[in-house]
Structure 1
């Protein structure tokens, strides 16, 4: 194995797998990922991508097996607490929070339960895949409870008579509703993140390349969050337009040929542009309004 190549661990299958692969593709990493393979080698960059279980990724980073990993903050924090309790090494750095895998770890109870606060769950049996995060939350409130650890299918625990409530990840809440449950408390807010070994453990060549890859990832995220705006507007209305559009940089203003009172405005907006925003621009007298996606961006 080439010691100068970067090993990057991503989820083999599940919530973050597709988005992680899409991020690498957007960053120009050419790699043929097959679910049947444990590892794939990038053609154009010194990156070896490892496809593994998500809860193995923090350990691979902390034990120095790989340099980079894409993982949910919830899994990372649960593993950190597990290793602290067992007095194992906890060593990593969060390089970048990503724009996918956004969810929350929440307590949910049956629809028909009269819930007035967390004390309602005192001494309750709670099913979860995140016992350490759940314990930390209840310990801070000094409320006893009975954990019941399940790996997957936590929603069915109540209907099966295995628990009084559950603590699981929630994105839309549709799965909870389908199982007769409602969300009552948020334990932990999560999203995907890029993590790495501590810099002191890596050779300079790897540190240099990771910085380059990180710049690309940040550029992809910035492009996804931004839109390129073009419109025509009277010079006297420019300040009102720029107040409405929060730009990453000051706009480019071009005088229109044959009409000295109007200009063309070009700018990158970091705000999400809805129809309502376009209607507000129209009401200010703007015309020829174009809102375009940005494929790549680097500041």
Structure 2
């Protein structure tokens, strides 16, 4: 009987390991394929597209994405000859993601404090409306937001890209409210008895106690804004404000040949994704711990 129990446990454990290895392979392999393509020669790729190793190994795709290769060198390796001002688009992405994330977290923090600490008529009803907003697909709000931004004359500006996101985030408000409901109120009440106002209590007492979920939302929001594509595509056509995600699409379509510069595109994609991968590897444990700790209260 004991031997049968050990056998069943061993089979289950083996199955679990096989499943985890399969999930890990499915998750990691696309990144490897991007790297393999980015280190290949475009002409060699056409001749051997199924190779698991870089075909005609070269650093050329990274050199032309970074603007270090001439048009002749690019064309010799099957590139498009087009240039990508990577530094300019990186700055645009940093500005767009940073400002949007900062405003989203700031206004969400204030709203969450109002829903969790202040007593006012219609609070629960209003919070129910916020929860309803979580059920509305984001794509349904794109057209009204676009019309509003156009009427305000904010097309092709950072303000037009940022404002529709900055003032409202139902998930962030819900997330922070649930965390604040679990915090003790004695310190805040003592501070108000000493004459502190609500804003001072929020920023001097409540905010330090919610630093974990606040940082978590900031990281997740920054990653989401960094990868945003469809909304900037709708409201911007000027290269001066376009983020890196749009630049990659333009780079893909700029090839004069019938075949796009896949190696260069994968190199640019890898460069664009690398900061987010590093960010998540550094703060991944904090994100998971904060989400698990906040829970649903």
Structure with the larger helix share = 2
Higher relative contact order (CA 8 A, sep 6+): 2
Tell me the TM-score range normalised by the shorter chain. Answer: under 0.3
Q: TM-score, normalised by structure 2?
A: 0.22
Structure with the larger strand share = 1
Q: TM-score, normalised by structure 1?
A: 0.22
